[in-house]
Amino acid sequence: MVSLSVIIPVYNERDAIGELLDRVEDVLDGVDLESEILVVDDGSQDGTQAVLEEHRSRSARLRLVLMKRNFGQTSAMVAGFHAARGEVFITMDGDGQNDPTDIPALLDTLDKGYDVVSGWRRDRADTLVTRKLPSAAANRLLSGITGIPLHDFGCTLKAYRASFIHRVRLYSDMHRFIPGLAAAVGARVVEQVVKHHPRVHGVSKYGLGRTYKLVTDLIVLRVLVRFSGQPLHYFGILSIGTFLLSIMLFFLAFVDTTDVRLVNYSTVVMPALAVLGFCLSISLLMMGLLCELARKTATEEGGELAPLPMSSIEEDA
């Protein structure tokens, strides 16, 4: 029975992945667990798959999941989580910047009673303006939103208990938010310093151009973490507020403002705004009820990972 699954999503990493797999194999040889390496090729077009096939021909651990096209890192990780057979997952980048020698230490920390061990690239080997500064700002926002005081949400090198990962739904670019989402379902999260190396092969797939996606995902994360437990409670507060505002506008509609030298909008504008506020309060209340219904349905279904279309994945065992 497989106890440990090392999951590596890759995209156009032909020059880096072979060396990385050799290093991972060497580390796993010294780990006293039945293990597998699961590489998810996210539609590479540079010959990465040929390198993976060559390595698989001489490795008993390596399994491949081949995406039909490039879906993005989050989708690749979800595919890996679905295919993995271990009780513990280790995730890492395929560019060689994460160090496989950190795997035993992550496992040791996980054995101390934690459910998620998140890597912290304290001495990060990336450019200051395009990578370090945006990452530092994003990490501060994420810590405030999730309540999890991590320095480095974006580090892919993490250890997870599979039982918690299968309770987290991932989409968009939300793989970096896994610690916060896992904590929301009861996982015990801790951070651990890991090594980070400069990129030697290929080019980074991330940059300032992805900032807008991070901002939108942060909004979604706040809703998921803060509101998902009691959606009717929060929408109810907004509904009551807008209802009281509509009552106030109805009252103002009957106040004669001509004596205070204001344009007398009361006969048309105030009643219209009052009706709009009342309709908005009803809409917010109904939205809260729908969210409660959706949460109840998801809970009854077990909250498993949202599957990818099967036509998009093929597993090469």
Report the CATH number at residue 49.
3.90.550.10
Residues 40 and 131 in one domain: yes
267 is a domain residue? yes
Residues 218 and 254 in one domain: no
Residues 148 and 30 in one domain: yes
Residues 134 and 218 in one domain: yes
Confidence of residue 216 (pLDDT cuts 50, 70, 90): low
Residue carrying the six token digits 């890759």: 10
194, 117 in Cβ contact below 8 A? Answer: no
211 is a domain residue? yes
Q: How far is CA 121 from CA 97, 98, 126, 203, 251, in A?
A: 10, 9, 10, 19, 59
CA-wise closest residue to 1 among 46, 31, 40, 34: 34
pLDDT (tens digit per residue) in 286-312: 887 887 777 667 655 554 444 444 344
Residues 144 and 246 in one domain: no
For the record, the structure tokens of 276 come out as 């709009």
Longest dimension (CA), the chain: 91
Domain range spanning residue 235?
Answer: 231-300
Helix 14-29 × helix 103-110 angle, to 10°: 50
Say yes or no to pLDDT of 285 above 70.
Answer: yes
Confidence of residue 255 (pLDDT cuts 50, 70, 90): low
pLDDT (tens digit per residue) in 80-103: 999 999 999 999 999 889 999 999
Most confident among 78-92, 118-132, 231-245, 298-312 (mean pLDDT): 78-92
Angle at 84 between CA 82 and CA 90, to 5 degrees: 115
Residues 94 and 180 in one domain: yes
**Cα–Cα distance between 294 and 215 in angstroms, integer?**
25
306 is a domain residue? no
Q: Which of 185, 200, 227 is the last residue of a domain?
A: 227
User: What's the gap between Cα 113 and its chain centre?
Assistant: 23
